[in-house]
Amino acid sequence: MVYRTATGAGLPGQFTIRAPNESEPSAVTTETKLYAITASRLRDGAVIYFAGKQTWSVKFADSAIAPDGDALLAEAAAGPPPLEAVGAYVIEVTQAEGIIRPVGLREEIRAFGPTA
């Protein structure tokens, strides 16, 4: 499964996201939809993100992202610990100038907290 984390550089052998001013095409274009996996943590209901390699993080920035959300979800579901994540689902994310953000207000609020 190819993925990179939202903040870090792409892992070796994986795709990189083309920045708007990049001249060389890459495997993934800005038009390519990207996805991450989110869930609630069983113990306390905290919002968590699949961070790859069978780990979950409370930070959106640690999210593993990939163009194939279903495959990413399958990878998240396959690995231990099976108890940590409740109700995992795929969310769309966008990137602009290297910053990845969740798409839609609901996921923004989940990622960054209540607005009021």
Partner 1 sequence: MYRYDEFDRRFLDERVAQYRDQVRRRLAGQLSEEEFRPLRLRNGLYLQLHAYMYRIAIPYGTLSPAQLRMLGHVARKYDRGYGHFTTRQNMQFNWIKLDESPDIMADLASVEMHSIQTSGNCIRNTTSDPFAGVADDEIEDPRPYCEIIRQWSTLHPEFSWLPRKFKIAVSASKKDRAAVHVHDIGLYLVRNAEGEVGFQVLIGGGLGRTPIMAKVLREFLPKKDLLSYLEAALRVYNEYGRRDNIYKARIKILVQSLGIDKMREAVDAEWAKMDHTPLDLDNETVRAIIAHFAPPAYAAVGKDDDAVFQAAVASDRKFARWMKYNVAHHKQPGYAIATVSLKPLGTPPGDITAEQLDLLAELSETYGFGEVRVTHEQNVVFPDVRRSDLPAFYNALAAAGLGTANIGLASDIIACPGLDYCTLANARSIPVAEKLGEHLADREEEVGPMKIKISGCINACGHHHVGHIGILGVDKNGEEFYQITVGGSADEQSAVGGIVGRAVSSDQVNDAVDKLLDVYVRMRCEGEDLPATYRRVGPEPFKEAVYGAH
Enumerate binding residues for partner 1 (CB under 8 A). 40, 42-47, 82-83, 86-87, 103-106, 109-110, 113-116
Shortest Cβ 111–partner 1 spacing (Å): 10
Structure tokens at 75: 């990878």
In angstroms, give the least distance from the CB of 74 to partner 1. Answer: 18
Q: Which is nearer to partner 1, 23 or 116 (CB)?
A: 116
Total Cβ atoms within 10 A of residue 69: 19
82 upstream amide cis, omega within 30 of 0: no
Nearest distance from residue 113's CB to partner 1, in Å?
A: 7
Q: How far is the C-alpha of 7 from the C-alpha of 76, rounded, in Å?
A: 19
